[in-house]
Structure 1
Amino acid sequence: MTYRANPPAVPAQFKRLFASPRFASSLTLVIIGFAFGATTLRAVIGPPGVVGILVGLVVLAGFSLSARWAGVDWHGLLPISIMVFVGWCAVSVLWSGYPLHTLSASLYQLAFTFLAIYIALARDTIQVVRATGDVLRVLLGLSLALEVLSGLLLDVPFVFLGIQGNIDSFGPVQGIFGSRNVFGLVSLIAAVTFAVELRSRSVRRGLGICSIALAVFGLLLTRSPVILVVALFVGLAALALIWLRSTPVANRWVLQIALLGATVVAGIIAVAARARIIDQLNAGSEFEARITLWGEIWRLATLHPLEGWGWAGLWPADVTPYGWLSFVTGRPQTSGLNAFLDVYFQVGLVGLLSFLALVLLAFWRSWLLASDKRSIVYVWSPLVLVTLLVTSAAESTVLVDFGWLLLLICAVKAAQGKSWRSLLQPTPHRHPE
């Protein structure tokens, strides 16, 4: 009988595989593609298939993170606001009227949270931008190709994908994202991503320009008044960052205060003139449906104002009170069409305050980094957050799938650069030479 002096080398080989930059790059592409394509995957393979893919991605990310453990910078890793919000959502299973749904929704949320943390730790910001750009080029192209196939070549709606085939009349189109507002949101995120890629010279100039044209074309075809307003806010934020970055460091704090004051005043004016703005956008019927839903959500939320009804994530249509809310509006609803009201309804005032802390800290930190750092890549996070947060006034996309993933990636990246815990780090002692 022959004995081996050394153990088999397979574990070491697997460790090298999971620790390799190429594996992290490939896994990041798959995770981001899965997050943006989750709606289509649910329609094609069903929720169990989506959960199976998600579990597989979590396992692979866990192996990769453990293999890279020694090289990970854990300082300022996870903002406390993320832990508080996710923890409160999970704890809501104790008083939820639908505990099984709350448990599954919390596990789903935790899985995406882990994947976002993995990407933020394993990849630099420019690598995240490049991965997002590569995914969105494919998905936007696929969406428009299916719209052309449905509306021009076959003249048949693809009902199971939510594609109505309206491209022959120049929209509105939904692509593979389920609704025109979400398609518009994805197109706007893509436009920001492609612009940062182009300015950072991380892609060829021709590819960058064609990608921006693709995103703008998709955005216009949605004909979404909601995304039109969001695009205006993103444009103003981009101009403000350009102004800040070109201002001398000594004078930036004055400009920051002025911009904050102008934002508050503009917000007050917008709220006061909201009826006229909606009328000018010709979006009365769409907003009337939302107002009906929001009024009923608010009425039900006051029954459990502090703790909420229980976390549900995407609304389960066969569970009270979500089935009732769909009945009131006359069409199936998978969310409250307002992320902040949705959070208040599901996890109450405590959940809403922790969510506000999460998004405001993430935005403020990323804004300061974009103002102070020379690299243009730091502009990506605050502009993506502006896109997500302004859209949150009319959609709940930021709470699940790609919206939640991008929010947490931006939050973790911002915390690594601007965490208050950096003040607690001891100054390294330098020995005299």
Structure 2
Amino acid sequence: MPADDRIPVPVAVPGSRRSLMPALGTWAFFLTFSGQGVRDLVGWWAFGAVAALSAVALVLVFFAEGHRVPWRALPPVTTAYVLVCLLSVLWSQYPEETALAGLLMLTTSVVGVLLACGLSLRQMTDALSRALEATLVLSLLLEAYVAMVLRHPLIPLYMQDWDEVPISYYWVNGDLFNGGPIQGIVGNRNPLAFIALLTLLCVAVRWADRRIRPAGLVIWTAVSLLVLVLTDSATVSVALVVCAASGLVLWLVRHVPHRWRPVVLTTAAAIGVVLVAAAIGLHSQVTAVLGRSSDMSGRWEIWQRVLALWEEHTILGWGWIMYWVPWLPVFATLVVRPDGTPTMSAHNAYIEALFQTGVVGATLVVVLVVLLLYRSFRLALRNIDSDASVLLPALLMTALAVQSFTESRLLSEGNWVVVCALGTWLGLHRLYERGRNGTRTDSTAPVRAASTRTPTRLNAS
């Protein structure tokens, strides 16, 4: 949309007090992306209390500041998948665990919706960026402490009284000055690498939007790249290349004459299809270049065993459980790591959805990803000449889509919050466009401005 177009959005009620939503947004993103670090620090029960109090605070502040949720803006496919997860308690093979996992899914979904309705896109970008930056800094500081002061691997603090802690449960190994791989406060190199990638995307968009100073650009780019190198994640390396290619295409579209833009997009799409086909056909060579085994670090075996289980409950799945819990017999011996601990996920969002929610749920997840990719790129292309901030949804969805093929995290915690937030924000934008074009909208939807009733910009900070 043109930069001077003014668009009604949910904002705070009149008053001189500063809104708390941006700060709570930062905390919500930090807690959902870095939750494992908090759990390793204070334990599961304390983390549950912190998460519950944080969710309650977000809801109270959201309504106290005058924000509302326009129901027509809720993403229908996302909502449908959440309902399937909640209803799966009726046919779940582990109903108690499904009930708890369903509550967690509902909570993270609500958080994403509230952030989209209570923050502008630029505010949401800033909140996400600050949360991810804090995670990277804390991760490097913790790694430095373990490497220089502790000088031996650090286990989660709540495991201090365990007789034996498996290697895969270690919080930080202290390999910062050995070239990595590092795990940071999240205790796992793959999600830490993904956090670094998302930070890099936020910084790039804020720079293109002229909302970050040169010093900040240099510092956060350097920190993000350093973490990417030290984590050495093959999945995130591929995601980085794909995001960079997508960013390059968007940059070319913005800088070529309008008549050439369809040619650029068609050529880019054709090249992308060819490269994907080549990568699939030459997957052994590709994984060798990435320094990984041809079975993708054991993922083929995991997928085969999970699909064999799915065949027992094909339509509706075994029941939503998010992360696999080790005390259930079906997961205790399904795929065992070298240190004797069970694997916690299928390492593929679509196979995970297929196993837990059947064909019904997996179909919804596929449609959801395709739909969000299409709508976010359409928005970016429509506003490519005027508003750089709308590039972020497209780039975030690109990163999430690539990661979803080798990780299940798309369906939980921070990644799911981002999915729900982006889906809801795109719904809000669609409502506005329908209203601007004269299409009848829900008159009760509080997509309105505050005190002076002057519409504010959609991306106003």
TM-score by length of 1: 0.89
Q: 1:152 maps to which residue?
A: 148
1:126-145 to 2 correspondence within 5 Å? 126-145=122-141
Q: 1:66 maps to which residue?
A: 63
Q: 1:49 maps to which residue?
A: 46
Contact 2:21 2:118 in 1 (8 A): yes
Aligned mate of 2:207, from 198, 214, 232: 198
Aligned mate of 1:305, from 309, 314, 317: 314
Work out the CA distance in 2 between the residues paired with 1:315 and 1:17. Answer: 46
The DSSP-based 3-state class of the residue aligned with 1:426 is coil
Work out the CA distance in 2 between the residues paired with 1:18 and 1:346. Answer: 47
Shift of 1:253: 4.5
Contact 1:65 1:118 in 2 (8 A): yes
Q: 1:384 maps to which residue?
A: 396
Deviates more, 1:407-416 or 1:109-118: 407-416
Distance 1:187 1:18, change over 3 A: farther
Shift of 1:229: 1.4
Larger relative contact order, structure 1 or 2 (CA cutoff 8 Å, min sep 6)? 2
Shift of 1:226: 2.1
Contact 2:348 2:404 in 1 (8 A): yes
Shift of 1:292: 1.3
Contact 1:187 1:216 in 2 (8 A): yes
For each residue in 1:147-183, what CA deviation from the matched residue of structure 2 results, as whole angstroms up to 9, or x when unmatched? 1111233321112262111112111111112211111
Work out the CA distance in 1 between the residues paired with 2:97 and 2:37. Answer: 21
Q: Which amino acid aligns with 1:381?
A: P
1:163-312 to 2 correspondence within 5 Å? 163-249=172-258, 252-284=261-293, 287-312=296-321
Runs of 5+ unmatched residues, structure 1: 1-14, 429-433
For each residue in 1:271-323, what CA deviation from the matched residue of structure 2 results, as whole angstroms up to 9, or x when unmatched? 11111111222201772411111111111111111111100011111114222
Q: Which amino acid aligns with 1:377?
A: S
Work out the CA distance in 1 between the residues paired with 2:222 and 2:276. Answer: 30
Shift of 1:139: 1.4
Shift of 1:49: 2.2
Q: 1:314 maps to which residue?
A: 323
Q: Which amino acid aligns with 1:188?
A: L
Aligned mate of 2:378, from 343, 346, 368: 368
Distance 1:340 1:289, change over 3 A: same
Shift of 1:72: 4.3
Q: 1:426 maps to which residue?
A: 440
Shift of 1:364: 1.0
Contact 2:349 2:405 in 1 (8 A): yes
2:369 is the alignment partner of 1:359: yes
Work out the CA distance in 2 between the residues paired with 1:264 and 1:20. Answer: 52
1:320-339 to 2 correspondence within 5 Å? 320-327=329-336, 330-339=340-349
Shift of 1:45: 2.2
Work out the CA distance in 2 between the residues paired with 1:309 and 1:100. Answer: 13
Q: CA RMSD in A?
A: 2.5
Work out the CA distance in 2 between the residues paired with 1:361 and 1:48. Answer: 37
Work out the CA distance in 2 between the residues paired with 1:328 and 1:296. Answer: 14
Work out the CA distance in 2 between the residues paired with 1:151 and 1:421. Answer: 53
Q: Which amino acid aligns with 1:66?
A: F
1:26-105 to 2 correspondence within 5 Å? 26-69=23-66, 72=68, 74=70, 76-105=72-101
Deviates more, 1:245-254 or 1:102-111: 245-254
Contact 1:112 1:405 in 2 (8 A): yes
Shift of 1:16: 6.8
Shift of 1:199: 2.5
Which structure is higher in helix share? 1
Shift of 1:227: 1.7
Contact 1:18 1:24 in 2 (8 A): no
For each residue in 1:343-388, what CA deviation from the matched residue of structure 2 results, as whole angstroms up to 9, or x when unmatched? 1111011101111111111111111111121211111111111111
Q: Which amino acid aligns with 2:439?
A: Q
1:402-417 to 2 correspondence within 5 Å? 402-417=414-429
For each residue in 1:116-136, what CA deviation from the matched residue of structure 2 results, as whole angstroms up to 9, or x when unmatched? 111101111111111122222
Contact 2:316 2:361 in 1 (8 A): yes
Work out the CA distance in 1 between the residues paired with 2:270 and 2:432. Answer: 24
2:21 is the alignment partner of 1:24: yes
Q: Which amino acid aligns with 2:343?
A: Q
The DSSP-based 3-state class of the residue aligned with 1:316 is coil
TM-score by length of 2: 0.83
Contact 2:196 2:228 in 1 (8 A): yes
The DSSP-based 3-state class of the residue aligned with 2:327 is coil
Shift of 1:47: 2.4
The DSSP-based 3-state class of the residue aligned with 1:164 is coil
Q: How many residues align?
A: 413
Work out the CA distance in 1 between the residues paired with 2:18 and 2:113. Answer: 16
For each residue in 1:11-70, what CA deviation from the matched residue of structure 2 results, as whole angstroms up to 9, or x when unmatched? xxxx9799955211221121111112211122222222222222222222222332344x
